[in-house]
Amino acid sequence: MLFMVSVIGYIFAVLKEKLYLKNNIILINKKSITQEHIDEADMKEFVFDGCKVKSGDEIKVVLKGKQKLEGIVIGAKKKERAILMVTHDDKIRKLNIDNIIKFKIVSKYGKFF
C-alpha cells in the first residue's frame, strides 16, 4: 500500500513539473534566491563547453584553484562572462567563465528518465 502511494505521488510530481515546463516555468526550491538574482541573469539558456545549459540544470564545476562546486544554474551574465548558480548549501555564486577548468551537467531540468 505504501509503495503504491509513493508511486502515485511520484507520478503527480512528474506531471506537475511537465506542466511547469510546458508553461516555461522553472521551479528552484532554494530560500536564498530572490527575484533580483533571477533578473540579474540576462541569459536563461546558453552553450558552454559544447553543452546546452538551461536555468534549473544541476552542474558540477572545478575552478582553477582546484575548488569543486555543485549546484543549480540560475542563469548567465553575458557582459561579465559569468555563470550564476546556487550551491546546495544555499549560497549564490558568480563563476567567471575564464576560471572554470571542468564543467559537467549532472542532471537536466525536466529530464526524468
What is the pLDDT, as a whole number, of residue 59? 93
Distance (Å, whole) CA 64 – CA 50: 19
- For the domain 30-107, what is the CATH code? 2.30.30.100
Dump pLDDT digits (tens) for 53-67: 988 889 999 999 889
Whether 89 shows a pLDDT value over 70: the answer reads yes
Cα–Cα distance for residue pair 41/78, rounded to 1 Å: 8
Task: Judge contact between 109 and 55, C-beta under 8 A.
Answer: yes
22 burial type by CB count under 10 A (0-12 exposed, 13-18 middle, 19+ buried):
exposed
Lowest mean pLDDT among 37-41, 82-86, 89-93, 96-100: 37-41
pLDDT of residue 4: 94
pLDDT at 110: 66
Indicate the pLDDT class of residue 20, thresholds 50, 70 and 90. confident
Domain ranges of the chain: 30-107
